[in-house]
Structure 1
Amino acid sequence: MKAIISLGGQPLSIERFNSVYENGDYIIGVDSGCQFLYNQNIMPDLILGDFDSIEKSLLSYYKSQNIPIKIFPVIKNETDGELGFIEGSKIANELLIIGTGGLSEIDHFLGNVFLLTRYPNATIVLEEEWINVLEKGKHMVNKEKGDSISFLPLESTHLILIGFDYDGNIKTEVGHIITLRNRIKEFEAKIEILEGKMLLIQGKK
């Protein structure tokens, strides 16, 4: 099962949302991320958060619709966004994270990106990009998500790239950007991570 987790940052267009949504997906609204769902007439399966940034009338509406609600204290160790990751992982084996924040909330955005290192089954979906973590092993990517692709090392990493404009057997470190802004040549390309962990950013540029 796939879960789509709507956070309270910069929302997707409805066209972008529809491109990743499939019937049967489990929808979680997180605090003010519920507003996007409400505005687009998307009924969540669960809403959660401390609800310090949501209109009381919206919370009352979901109560009237018998939507399951999990309320957390304002003062807590996790952000509402992380609680969304946690709850989604209990239900689904794939998480799509939307509304992760933008330049106006760069701390939340980067925090959600770093959460990917703990939830490798999660992908952040932006309007034109996808962000996820690649761990040790063999991976395939294709142009369905765009042909522009960047890799950022999260630790000392040794990887092999085949099928890109810039192929190679590469060793890189945190803070090095030699693997930034590559491109898939044909429809499909191969990545093998021999050691380490990489952040993958893919889209159309």
Structure 2
Amino acid sequence: MSQINIVAGGPIDLIPELSQYAADQMLWVGVDKGTVTLLDAGIIPDEAFGDFDSITDRERRKIEKAAPGLHVYQAEKDQTDLELALVWALEQKPDMIQVFGITGGRADHFLGNIQLLHKGIESNTAIQLIDKQNIIQMFTPGTHTIEKDFGKRYISFIPFSEEVEELTLTGFKYPLKNCHITFGSTLCISNELIYSRGTFSFAEGIVIMVRSTD
């Protein structure tokens, strides 16, 4: 399995056109109301997770009729619906997981979703959180190549660990070399590539990269 796309129940106006993210050897997964979003987009989810407490009876019947793999949970549980779906997705060992419908609405859910990126670090699986304006991903030490994207020209690096050691940015408008940054630093907000590709590297810590439109 090369790719799994997960659609959660965030505001529809922040979810990009999903069909452009379709690929060979991939699965679509709906999370709670995100399953309705998939069906409305003409995409039949391979799996669906949630307590489905945020949908109407009509929408629930629609899901039960269409979704072949339906996982229903009690509303009172120790994990969010998205975490349950993400854990299942990681168990399938894909090369990439892309998650939509995770921004807008409740800030606590969004902050929790950001932290779920760490599960990809633990499993050595690339996870991207995607909306119309942003792509968010988490990285461990090493050298990483990044391609220029004119649709998302702004690139920010935010420390997720207490310290990030020897951060180096090459091919950027504001380059860095062996820089030490700490949790809470805004030094690396809103940078840009000046060439078709660039690299970023660091020796210790965890970094969140955000690619954004204006």
What's the TM-score once normalised by structure 1's chain length? Answer: 0.92
Are the equivalent residues in 1 in contact too, given 2:28–2:46 (CA < 8 A)?
yes
Give 5+ residue unaligned stretches, structure 2: none
Structure 1 residue aligned with 2:96: 94
Partner SS, residue 132 of structure 2? coil
Structure 2 residue aligned with 1:129: 134
Partner SS, residue 82 of structure 1? helix
1:1-205 pair list within 5 angstroms: 1-11=2-12, 16-65=17-66, 67-91=68-92, 92-102=94-104, 104-120=105-121, 121-144=126-149, 146-155=152-161, 156-158=163-165, 159-169=167-177, 170-205=179-214
> Which digits, 9 at most, give the CA deviation of each residue in 1:153-197, with x for residues without a partner?
011002111110111121100011101111111110001111111
Give 5+ residue unaligned stretches, structure 1: none
Partner SS, residue 117 of structure 1? helix
Q: Distance in 2 between matches of 1:168 and 1:11?
A: 38
Matched residue type, 2:164 = T
Matched residue type, 2:101 = G
Partner SS, residue 12 of structure 2? coil
Aligned residues: 204
CA RMSD in angstroms comes to 1.7
Deviation at 1:15?
A: 5.7
Percent identity reads 25
Partner SS, residue 130 of structure 1? strand
Matched residue type, 2:153 = D
Are the equivalent residues in 2 in contact too, given 1:12–1:99 (CA < 8 A)?
no
> Which digits, 9 at most, give the CA deviation of each residue in 1:53-80, with x for residues without a partner?
1223233233333611111111111001
Are the equivalent residues in 1 in contact too, given 2:6–2:97 (CA < 8 A)?
yes
Partner SS, residue 203 of structure 2? strand
